[in-house]
Amino acid sequence: MMEYIGATGVPVSFKSVPIENDIDFHFILSFAIDANPSGTYQNGKFSPYWESTLTPKSVAAIKSSHPNVKALASLSGWSLGEKVLRWYNPTDPDLWISNAFSSLKSIINRYHLDGIDIDYENFPKRNSTFAYCIGELITRLKNQSVINVATIAPFYTTVKPYIDLYNSYSDVIDYVNYQFYTDRVRNANGYLKTFTLRAEQFDKEKLLPSYEIDGRGIQGDAFFEALKLLENNGFDVNGVMIFSADASSSNGYYYERKSQAFLLNSTSMV
């Protein structure tokens, strides 16, 4: 189970999210950004910008009370305030990697994190460094035991750079949090068609179906109809990604509860 949290400026806490003990539950703190507060890029020097209620103490507490919980930092996201964020090709990729490793190691240690999620959403027309920089960063973080899980979050307009990354570094990428809600699919059959396409581009065993609370794409219980259809067509539903816990409190975390029930092979609410 993957759940983004802390991206929208809404006060939110880990402890209010329902967590089943038999589920590997990953909170994805959103976002760590390679920029200062004014949006000026810092050449790989990341800072945390997620909701201030998500403190190091609260991360440690939720992991202590739920040993099945892991916490990740998602890198970049769409924007910082009014500043739209983009992957920029650093003039010295190896220096960027070194800076990113050091700054993220500091954040990971401070916040008791287990991994990173890659969510760059805008790219220059001539991108030549993303796959190398991100792939080598993940590899270094894993080889030095700073993290033990890494995920990527492509969507329909960013598939190409993420395919380039995945093709070269799939051995260090654990899950693909593809943002299916950006594909504007609103029924189960359409979801199956889109999932089949993305499963051909990425490893189907690592690809997770996703849902956006009160947002784009498939909505309501049609999402769970889609999950059943995936299984009926030979796909193993190995997890679910939800965006986001910030929006879920208003409906009592219905989709988190029902997604976990589905993953535990139960149709009843938990």
Indicate which residues carry an active-site annotation: 121
Q: Compute the distance between CA of residue 204 and CA of residue 175 in angstroms, rounded to an integer.
A: 10
Q: Compute the distance between CA of residue 1 and CA of residue 26 in angstroms, rounded to an integer.
A: 6
Residue 88: how many other CB atoms lie within 10 Å: 17
**207 phi, psi to nearest 5 deg:** -85, 125
The CA-CA-CA angle for residues 254, 257, 204, to 5°, reads 110
* Whether 110 contacts 146, CB under 8 Å: no
Q: Compute the distance between CA of residue 111 and CA of residue 53 in angstroms, rounded to an integer.
A: 12
Q: Compute the distance between CA of residue 268 and CA of residue 265 in angstroms, rounded to an integer.
A: 9
Give the residue carrying structure tokens 């910082």. Answer: 80
Structure-token pair, residue 128: 């030549």
Q: Compute the distance between CA of residue 54 and CA of residue 66 in angstroms, rounded to an integer.
A: 16
Instruction: Enumerate the β-bridge partners of residue 70.
Output: 26
What is the crossing angle of helices 222-232 and 188-201, to 10°? 50
Instruction: Enumerate the β-bridge partners of residue 110.
Output: none
